[in-house]
Amino acid sequence: MHQHTLQAAREFGFPVENIVFETVEGEQIADGKWLAEVFREYQRIGFLTAIDDFGAGYAGLNLLADFQPDIIKLDMALVRDVQQRRPSQVIIRSVADICRELDIRLIAEGVETEDEYRCLQDLGISLMQGYLLARPLFEHCMQHVPPHLPA
């Protein structure tokens, strides 16, 4: 798979370092060691790697022990009403500390309210995405595709 992606990036002059391969933490992964090796190869080539929905599954810390991605995206269930949920605050602060120690960028997903935003900032989270900040860009772009291009 990565060979086709690499070939397409080179053909169109797209920077490889702007391509992110993601795995979802909650996915059933039969062989975590194999996945870690695949992702290490992606990093060696220059691709970015990410674990999405971190905190949604039960293997997150084990996966993180085997492989350190470039990016971790906190699951929105941890973010939801975080300002009112002390256990979520403790978990997020701890994951943020782990990510700093391992040089991993941490993104909070699903930020929908200013209270969540402010609380996450107080917990040391600087990268966030969610409806409070912007609607999904891809859907917006597809509404503005010129008529001569397929949507």
Write out the H or E segment, with its range, that includes residue 131. none
- Per the rule left: phi > 0, alpha: psi between -120 and 50, beta: everything else, 130 is left
Q: Looking at the domain 20-136, which fold is it?
A: TIM Barrel (3.20.20)
Judged against a pLDDT cut of 70, whether residue 59 lies above it is answered with no
Q: Which residues are catalytic?
A: 109
126 vs 21, which has greater pLDDT? 126
Q: What is the dihedral of CA 101, 119, 23, 59, to 10 degrees?
A: 70
pTM exceeds 0.85 for this model: no
pLDDT exceeds cutoff 50 at 72: yes
pLDDT at 60 over 60: yes
Give the span between the Cα atoms of 61 and 102, in whole angstroms: 13
The token duo for 1 is: 């798979």
